[in-house]
Amino acid sequence: MTIPERQGAFFEFCNIIGGRAVTEFNYRYNDDDLANIFVGVRLVGGQDELDSIISDLRTGGYPVADLSDDEMAKLHIRYMIGGKHLNS
């Protein structure tokens, strides 16, 4: 997903996630406007909780891609998140 690259954006994101345990968080600077992040959240309420989190994030203006069932992405994307090529 992406979050704005500005002061307070991470705090706003955390407020939407609430008291849930974040199990993984990868961030890499992308540009002056947006940051790409990869987030894992521990769920105790199953699919209903996941649907609620995604809905809350989208309502908050955060584009979300759910990779829960994409094993290839889960193995590799954490190493590929964000960042421009050095020659960009």
Domain boundary assignment for the chain: 2-79
87 pLDDT above the threshold of 60: no
Tens digit of each residue's pLDDT (9 = 90 or more) over 11-62: 999 999 999 999 988 887 778 898 888 888 999 999 999 999 999 999 999 9
Element (H, E) at 3: strand 2-4
Element (H, E) at 72: helix 71-76
User: Could you tell me which residues are beta bridge partners of residue 27?
Assistant: 37
Q: Which fold has domain 2-79?
A: Biosynthetic Threonine Deaminase; domain 3 (3.40.1020)
